[in-house]
Amino acid sequence: MNNSLIIFYIHSLLIILSATLVIVSINPIHSVLFLVLVFLNSSALLILIEAEFLAITLIIVYVGAIAVLFLFVVMMLNIKVIVSNITILRYLPIGGIIGIIFLLQVLLIYNKATILNENINLEYIQQIYHYNQVINWDNNLMTNIQIIGQYLYVYYYDLFLISGLVLLVAMIGAIVLTMHINYNIKKQQVFLQLYNK
């Protein structure tokens, strides 16, 4: 086994262990910290497959923003840790059903991937040709960031704009839902006060 495969297995085991501890932990702050550990190990796997831009983006967006936001929300809510005597066996049936569903989905994806590898269709060849065209743009070898930029801003610009509009609508919806206008507050009307003088 080469070194990259050993590093891959180490980070994969750490991701599985951290994700399990996110669910099992009683303290919600510990759960958020284990979630940060999942994100960090996932970015290490992205660095291993030479997708450095995606790894740094994962750290900046998820660890730097979302996980910190979760941590602040959990700390502001001041959730009291309730240690219950209920065993984990109570949740085993529903967890087992969900686990079996996920396992079946992984097996279906694996079977579909092996079928695609055995029967290489025309669409797959066109995707490879398209990818090679992007890499050899003006006969220069492009970096990962340039390839992502070409795909986002040239080939999939319409989907990129639609995702921006969806995020804008979500932001406006969050503002409207959290904004409470109290009509019982007495407001100072400066123009009328000066006009009456």
195 pLDDT more than 80: no
* 55 in Cβ contact with 47 (< 8 Å): yes
Residues of the chain with CATH 1.20.120.1200: 1-83
**How much is the average pLDDT of 83-91?**
63
Residue carrying structure tokens 């949740």 = 91
pLDDT recorded at residue 167: 84
CATH code for the structural domain at 1-83:
1.20.120.1200
Q: Rounded to the nearest 5 degrees, what angle is found at the Cα of 94, between the Cα atoms of 112 and 67?
A: 75
pLDDT tens digits, residue range 22-53?
888 887 778 888 988 999 999 999 988 888 88
pLDDT recorded at residue 42: 92
Cα(197)–Cα(186) distance, integer angstroms:
20
For the entire predicted model, the pTM comes to: 0.56
Cα(99)–Cα(147) distance, integer angstroms:
36
